[in-house]
Structure 1
Amino acid sequence: MSEENLADAFNENNAPFAKTMGVRMTLVTKTRVEGELDVKEENCTIPPTLHGGAIMALADNMGGIGAFLNMPEGSLTSTIESKTNFLRAIPIGQTAKAVTTPVNIGRTLQVWKTDIFREDGKLAAVVTQTQIIRAAT
């Protein structure tokens, strides 16, 4: 049995910064999060390719969603570590496609990996992040 896709709910209620960036969720389940980000002038560097900070912010948002879906009710999550390998540029006019999957879902720490692809299907970046899970105070 497949999990319910919560993408519409997360598009409506996503973090303010993700909304400002233009992140669109296409698949949101407890074990897989997929999203897209259009490469526009305002999120580029020079030459006009997707800025590394935008890549990292996209992945951070998606890993946070995965952690949120897998933590106990009443808990909070926060990124405590993030590592990015930049492999290829994503040119202006393309759409970056991101796929986030869990590496480990523990009680207090979760590790998520986000692969970010160009439109030609080539891997552009790999982001691995650790999320801490703690009780809300």
Structure 2
Amino acid sequence: MHMDLKEKNHKRKQNIWKNTQFRKSFGHAWDGVKTIWQEERNMRNHVAFGMLPIVAGFLFRVSNIEWIVLVLCVFLVIIMEFLNTIIETVVDMVTNYEYHPLAKKAKDIAAGAVLVTACFTVVIAAIIFLPKLIKLVF
């Protein structure tokens, strides 16, 4: 009996921060999207630069597979920026905005992950569009 009460209290404590309604969960997620859009210049830049291969895709009439790869790459950069912002926010919270070499390391590595993903996307875009550009010019 004692164990059942302990388990029940543990489950009750776990659900304090848990959203039980889809609408509320969606609202909180949308708040996150709005926050990163409003507060993170890099997110706005990634979205703007991400539009370039999308526009080019329409201009060059890329294949379905090329569309899938392009959209996946663009969203991968955006997702990495979300993760980078999460890591930076948690590090700032834990360090109370005070410099610490491990905090710098974590933030630099997270930013590096975004950079590597963006470079990957540029390589993929080059693979898709350079042959089309060469064909157009020559």
Would you call these one fold, judging by a TM-score over 0.5?
no
TM-score between the two structures when normalised by the length of structure 2: 0.33
Which structure: larger Rg?
A: 2
The structure with more helix, counted as a fraction of residues: 2
TM-score between the two structures when normalised by the length of structure 1: 0.33
The structure with more strand, counted as a fraction of residues: 1
